[in-house]
Amino acid sequence: MPPVSRSITRPLLAATLVAAAPASAQPVRVSSLPDVPDAHGFAGAFCGIHRGHLIAAGGANFPDGVMPWDGGKKVWHDQILALDLIASGATWKRIGKLPEPSGYGVSLTTPDGILLIGGGNASTHSRKVSRLRLDDSGKPVLVAMPELPRPLAQMAGALVGQQVHLCGGIESPDATRATPGHWMLDLEDRERGWQVLPTIPGDGRILATAAAVNGAFFVIGGCSLSPNEEGEPQRRYLKDAWKFADGSWTRLADPPRAATAAASPAPVAGNAIFLVSGDDGSQTGLASPADHPGFPRDILRYDVAHNSWSEAGRLDFPAPVTLPTAPWDGGFIFFNGEVKPGVRTPRVFLLQPAP
């Protein structure tokens, strides 16, 4: 989906930064928006744009700051927050709640509202799909949409024209296998519900990155799951990229590195897809997750026309993973995410890539 054509009132933005880029690449501009009003921030939240507002909902964190390996408890949230992107000096407001705590689904901005697809919490994953809108008074309204064929979380999705495509995910919090499933909902023919389409080749995957360019659906990276000797899920990081068009999948050039849980849907500019950070799996096997140095800060650019990858810059702050994006002002807003295992960030920023 092309970015929503609106302009941000510039006083809302902090200083604009230019991500360091190779001499041959155009710079990627990064501008800071107000931090979310939570000291920790959220991973796996839903996020989108409606009526000139950035709306975020749900997600999970460790509200007492104690990490899971030290006995901390992960908490899923149900709050709905909104930030007026047009009014000068606007701040975040709590405007309502989801029916239940939820996160790690797919959220997509449409002209009629924000699609909240699947997700779940510590005990269950969901088939529910809703459209989140703001009414004339600024209050959130949730409208039920056709449910998924199965409960799903940690899948990837993008809007291809008026068709919502989803790929991968897991059906329950304790799943040891990911699905390769692929589903589509035509927003102009919702009565047909979710249609089953050809599965992505190879293993199922979670936390892949999705994008849409020129009527095609793209899926990049993620990781597959399999049970270890104790029956717990173990990850295999995937370094691949796929395109679905004309009813079939085509494997593309592999990205330079693996990327799991990169911001999704990925930013798109012209015929280019931008893969921002993502867990590359290089820090597995650490003595303690507390020793993790953070995720890759590089930005990778995929040229659709030439089926090639290149470097497009580097974030100059800790790179987030497990986060949604929302199209705005010729770019994409990144909402919170995880900067180290268990560690969230309240940061919100606008990334404007060059074609």
**Domain ranges across the chain:** 10-352
Q: Do the Cβ atoms of 216 and 165 come closer than 8 Å?
A: no
List per-residue pLDDT tens for the chain, 355 residues long. 333 334 344 335 554 554 555 545 567 899 999 999 999 999 999 999 999 999 999 999 999 999 999 999 999 999 999 999 999 999 999 999 999 999 999 999 999 999 999 999 999 999 999 999 999 999 999 999 999 999 999 999 999 999 999 999 999 999 999 999 999 999 999 999 999 999 999 889 999 999 999 999 999 999 999 999 999 999 999 999 999 999 999 999 999 999 999 999 999 999 999 999 999 999 988 889 999 999 999 999 999 999 999 999 999 999 999 999 999 999 999 999 999 999 999 999 999 998 7
The tokens describing 214, both together, are 């020129």
| DSSP state at residue 70 | G
pTM of the model: 0.93
- Closest to 170 measured CA to CA, from 205, 198, 195: 205
- Sheet with 268-269: strands ordered across: 268-269, 272-276, 298-303, 308-314
Q: Which CATH architecture has domain 10-352?
A: 6 Propeller (2.120)
The tokens describing 57, both together, are 């909902």
The tokens describing 341, both together, are 């295992």
Say how far apart CA 18 and CA 348 lie, in whole Å. Answer: 16
Q: Which amino acid is at 198?
A: P
The tokens describing 59, both together, are 């997600």
